[in-house]
C-alpha cells in the first residue's frame, strides 16, 4: 500500500504540472487577469495623435511584465560598453531652448556614454547584425538629461504597445533558446512579415549600418521628435543626431562573423584602447529644428518613429562636440549599473506625443526599479546628479542618503516649508502646455499608414555595393527561416519597397516574386479590428538622400586605423621604420605580425619584437596590411600558409594592401592583383613612394568595388 500511495503522489504532481501548461490555439488574447483584449496594436491615447494615457492598464500590464522578465541583466541592450567624457557647445541655443547646458559655449558638461547591441545577452558577440544603442547621460547643473538613442534614426514599431512583441520575436526562440544575438530565425521574420510598419527599419538593419567597424565610427540618433522650449515658452520640434568625426564605416558580414570567433569583444576593446592611447572618440551634436507651425507640412508624420526627416528638407545643424576621454574604473559599477531613462529631461527640453516615446517614458523607469533593486538607483555614483537633490522621498532598498530632521512631507510648517517648490523663473520644470482635446481611442492616426515610401528612399539612396550587401543580408536572414510561408510574406513586403530588391532576394531563396499573400492589416487575428487601415502607397518626393549612404561619409583620416605589418627574419628594417614613423604621425596604429612571437631579426641583425603571431591574430582585426621588403622575410612568408591566408583574407574583405621592394613577391603568391587595376593595392620600390597612395587607400576604409 505504501508503494501505491507514493506512486499516486507522483501522478498527482504530474497532473498539477499539466494544468500549468497553456495552449493558446484558437483562444482570444487576454490580459493576465483574463480580460479579453480588443486592440493589441495601439495604446490608449487622447485622440489618434494625442499623448498616451496613464489609465491604459492593458499597456502598463504588458510592459511591466516585459520589463521584469529578466534579472539582473537588461532585457535589451544587455551587451554594452561605456566611457566618460565631456560635451561642449559651439554656439548658444538660447533662441530655441532654455536648457542650461545649451547656453554657454565655454561650459563643459560631463557625460557618460553607453554603447550596446540590442538583442544579445551580456555574453554575446559585439559583431552581431543588430541595432546599436547610443545613450548619453549629461550631468548638467539643472539635473540629469539622458539622450537615449540608437545608431539608426528609426525603429521597428510605431506604438510602444508592440515593443514586448518585437523583443519576444527577435530574442532566442523560447522552446530551445536559439539563436543567440541573431534575427535570422522564424519568430522574428514571422513578426516582421506581419508588421509592414517595420519595412523602413528592416532596410537599416539589413544594411551595413548594422555591423559598424567601431562604436567610434557610427552615427547616433535620438530617434523620436522632442521639443525645445525657450524662455518665452515657445516650442520648437527637435531631432537629435550624433555625427562621428571619423566618419561612418562598417565591416563586411563575412568579416563580422570571423571577428566574432577571433575577438567577440572587438568593439569593446576598440573603444577601450582608443581612449587609453589618447585617440579620443569624437562626435558632433547635430539638431534638426522644426517650428511648431510646420508640424503638418511634411508628407510623413513628424510623430512617427518609423520616419526620418530627410536632411534635404531640414538640414542638420552641428552645434557642439562630444569627446570621450576616460575609461571606467570598474565595469560593473559604472557601465553595468548606469541607468538611462528617456524621462530624464531638464527645463528647456520636453516630449512630443510620439506613441513609442510615450510608452518608453513608463518602461524605462519601471525597468530600472526592477533591475537595480528599487527606487534608489539614482544614488549609485554613475547615476548621481551633480545638481543638488532635495525632496521628501525616503527609505527603500539600498538607501544611502541620511536625511536629517523630522519632516518628510510637503506642505509642512515644522521645517519652514522646505524644500520649496521652484517657480519657472527659479528653474522649476513645467511641461509645455499643449492643448489636448480629443476622445479616448485605441487607434492609429491615418498619417501613420505610409510604411514603404521611406524604405524605398533608403534603398534607393544606397550605393551599388551597399545595395548588394543589403540584398545578401536578406538572403542570409530569410535563408535561415524554415517556414516557407514566412519567406513568401517577406518577399511580398519587399515588393512594396522595390521590385528589383524583391526579385534579387527571391532569386536567392529560389522563390517567385508574388504580391503580398494577405491584406497588410495591423492585426493578423481572425477578429481583426474593423478600424484597421490598409497601408498607403505613398511615395517620397525625395528620390535619393545622400546622408543615407555611407559612401558619402568622411574619408580624410587614418587616425586610429590598425595596420598589420607582416615580417619574418630578414625583413628590411629601414622600410618598417620609415613606414611606422610616417603612419604614426597621422594617428595610425601599426602592429607587427610574424610566424612566431618574440624577437624577429631584421636583415641588418637588429631585433624587433613581434606584437602577434599568425596564430594569435587575424586580418579581420586590422584595417590594412603592409608587406615590407627583405628577401629572407618575403621568402619565409611566401612559404607560410597562414601568411598567404592573411593577405588573401584582407583582400577579400576589401582592405588596402601595400608592398614595398621584394614584398611584392609575397603578393604574387596570393589572389591580390599586382597589375595596378585596383587603386587600393599599392606596390612601390620604397615606402616614401608608396605613402600617399597607401594613406589615401586606408582613409577610404574599404574598396567596396571588390565585394
Which residues does the annotation mark as catalytic? 77, 150
Place of cell 525645445: 228
Place of cell 546599436: 132
Note whether 444 and 305 are within 8 A (CB). no
Q: How is residue 563 written as a grid cell?
A: 595596420
Classified as helix, coil or strand, 147 is strand
First-last CA distance in the chain: 75
Cis peptide before 411 (omega within 30 of 0): yes
Q: 503 CB contacts (<8 Å, ≥6 apart)? A: 513
Distance of CA 203 to the CA centre of its chain: 14
User: Residue 326's closest CA among 84, 629, 639, 631?
Assistant: 84
Radius of gyration of the chain (CA): 28
Question: CA 58, CA 32: separation in Å to the nearest integer?
Answer: 9
Question: CA 111, CA 106: separation in Å to the nearest integer?
Answer: 16
Q: What is the largest CA-CA distance in the chain?
A: 96
Residue 360 phi/psi, 5-degree rounding, is -65, -30
Which DSSP symbol is given to 692? H
Place of cell 498616451: 52
Place of cell 574604473: 329
Which DSSP symbol is given to 106? T
Question: CA 403, CA 405: separation in Å to the nearest integer?
Answer: 7
User: Residue 536's closest CA among 443, 447, 437?
Assistant: 447
Strand 562-566, strand 624-627: pairing: parallel
> Cα 97–99–102 angle (5° rounding)?
85
Place of cell 602592429: 591
Residue 619 phi/psi, 5-degree rounding, is -65, -30
Question: CA 109, CA 405: separation in Å to the nearest integer?
Answer: 33
Which DSSP symbol is given to 318? E
Question: CA 629, CA 380: separation in Å to the nearest integer?
Answer: 56
Question: CA 650, CA 644: separation in Å to the nearest integer?
Answer: 10
Output b/e per residue, 170-204; b: 16+ Cβ within 10 A.
Answer: bbbeeeeeebebbbebebbbbbbbbbbbbbbbbbb
Residue 630 phi/psi, 5-degree rounding, is 115, 105
Note whether 359 and 67 are within 8 A (CB). no
Amino acid at each position: 500500500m505504501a508503494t501505491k500511495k507514493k506512486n499516486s503522489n507522483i501522478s498527482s504532481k504530474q497532473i498539477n504540472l499539466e494544468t500549468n501548461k497553456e495552449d493558446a490555439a484558437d483562444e482570444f488574447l487576454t490580459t493576465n487577469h483574463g480580460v479579453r483584449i480588443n486592440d493589441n496594436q495601439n495604446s490608449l491615447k487622447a485622440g489618434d495623435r494625442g499623448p498616451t494615457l496613464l489609465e491604459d492598464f492593458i499597456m502598463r500590464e504588458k510592459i511591466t511584465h516585459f520589463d521584469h522578465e529578466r534579472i539582473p541583466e537588461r532585457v535589451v541592450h544587455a551587451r554594452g560598453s561605456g566611457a566618460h567624457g565631456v560635451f561642449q557647445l559651439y554656439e548658444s541655443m538660447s533662441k530655441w531652448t532654455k536648457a542650461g547646458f545649451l547656453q554657454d559655449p565655454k561650459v563643459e558638461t560631463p557625460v557618460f556614454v553607453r554603447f550596446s547591441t540590442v538583442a544579445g545577452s551580456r555574453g554575446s558577440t559585439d559583431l552581431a547584425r543588430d541595432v546599436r544603442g547610443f545613450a548619453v547621460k549629461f550631468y548638467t547643473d539643472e539635473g540629469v538629461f539622458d539622450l537615449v538613442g540608437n545608431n539608426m534614426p528609426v525603429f521597428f514599431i510605431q506604438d510602444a504597445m508592440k515593443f514586448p512583441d518585437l523583443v519576444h520575436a527577435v530574442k532566442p526562440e523560447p522552446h530551445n533558446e536559439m539563436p543567440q544575438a541573431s534575427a535570422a530565425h522564424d519568430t522574428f521574420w514571422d513578426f516582421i512579415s506581419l508588421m509592414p510598419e517595420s519595412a523602413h527599419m528592416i532596410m537599416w538593419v539589413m544594411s551595413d549600418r548594422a555591423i559598424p567597424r567601431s562604436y567610434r565610427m557610427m552615427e547616433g540618433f535620438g530617434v523620436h521628435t522632442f521639443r525645445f522650449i525657450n524662455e518665452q515658452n515657445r516650442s520648437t520640434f527637435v531631432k537629435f543626431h550624433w555625427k562621428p568625426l571619423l566618419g561612418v564605416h562598417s565591416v563586411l558580414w563575412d568579416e563580422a562573423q570571423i571577428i566574432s570567433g577571433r575577438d567577440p569583444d572587438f568593439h569593446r576593446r576598440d573603444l577601450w584602447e582608443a581612449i587609453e592611447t589618447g585617440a579620443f572618440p569624437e562626435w558632433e551634436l547635430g539638431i534638426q529644428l522644426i517650428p511648431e507651425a510646420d508640424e503638418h507640412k511634411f508628407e510623413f508624420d513628424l510623430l512617427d518613429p518609423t520616419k526620418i526627416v530627410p536632411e534635404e528638407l531640414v538640414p542638420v545643424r552641428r552645434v557642439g562636440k562630444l569627446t570621450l576621454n576616460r575609461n571606467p574604473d570598474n565595469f560593473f559599477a559604472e557601465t553595468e549599473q548606469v541607468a538611462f531613462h528617456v524621462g530624464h529631461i531638464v527645463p528647456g527640453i520636453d516630449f512630443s506625443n510620439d506613441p513609442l516615446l510615450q510608452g518608453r517614458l513608463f518602461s524605462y523607469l519601471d525597468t530600472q526599479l526592477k533591475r537595480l533593486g528599487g527606487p534608489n538607483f539614482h544614488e549609485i555614483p554613475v547615476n548621481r546628479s551633480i545638481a543638488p537633490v532635495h525632496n521628501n522621498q525616503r527609505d527603500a532598498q539600498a538607501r544611502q542618503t541620511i536625511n536629517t530632521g523630522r519632516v518628510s512631507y510637503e506642505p509642512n510648517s515644522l521645517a519652514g516649508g522646505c524644500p520649496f517648490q521652484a517657480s519657472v523663473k527659479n528653474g522649476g520644470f513645467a511641461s509645455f502646455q499643449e492643448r489636448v482635446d480629443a476622445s479616448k481611442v485605441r487607434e492609429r492616426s491615418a498619417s501613420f499608414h505610409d510604411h514603404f515610401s521611406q524604405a524605398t528612399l533608403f534603398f534607393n539612396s544606397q550605393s551599388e555595393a551597399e545595395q548588394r550587401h543589403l540584398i545578401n543580408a536578406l538572403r542570409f536572414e530569410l535563408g535561415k527561416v524554415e517556414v516557407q510561408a514566412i519567406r513568401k510574406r517577406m518577399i511580398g513586403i519587399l515588393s512594396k519597397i522595390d521590385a528589383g530588391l524583391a526579385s534579387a532576394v527571391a532569386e536567392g531563396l529560389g522563390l517567385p516574386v508574388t504580391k503580398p499573400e494577405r491584406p497588410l492589416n495591423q492585426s493578423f487575428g481572425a477578429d481583426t479590428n474593423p478600424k484597421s487601415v490598409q497601408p498607403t502607397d505613398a511615395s517620397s518626393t525625395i528620390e535619393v538622400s545622400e546622408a543615407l549612404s555611407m559612401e558619402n561619409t568622411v574619408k580624410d583620416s587614418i587616425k586610429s586605423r590598425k595596420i598589420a605589418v607582416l615580417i619574418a627574419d630578414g625583413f628590411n628594417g629601414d622600410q618598417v621604420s620609415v613606414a611606422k614613423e610616417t603612419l604614426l604621425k597621422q594617428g595610425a596604429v601599426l602592429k607587427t605580425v610574424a610566424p612566431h612571437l618574440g624577437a624577429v631579426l631584421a636583415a641588418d641583425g637588429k631585433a624587433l619584437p613581434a606584437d602577434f603571431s599568425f596564430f594569435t591574430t587575424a586580418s579581420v582585426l586590422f584595417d590594412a596590411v603592409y608587406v615590407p621588403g627583405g628577401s629572407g622575410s618575403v621568402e619565409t612568408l611566401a612559404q607560410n600558409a597562414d601568411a598567404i591566408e592573411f593577405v588573401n583574407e584582407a583582400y577579400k574583405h576589401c582592405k588596402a594592401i601595400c608592398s614595398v621592394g621584394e614584398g611584392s613577391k609575397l603578393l604574387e603568391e596570393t589572389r591580390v592583383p599586382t597589375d595596378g587595376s585596383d587603386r587600393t593595392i599599392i606596390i612601390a620600390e620604397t615606402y616614401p613612394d608608396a605613402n600617399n597612395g597607401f594613406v589615401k587607400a586606408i582613409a577610404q576604409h574599404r574598396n567596396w568595388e571588390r565585394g
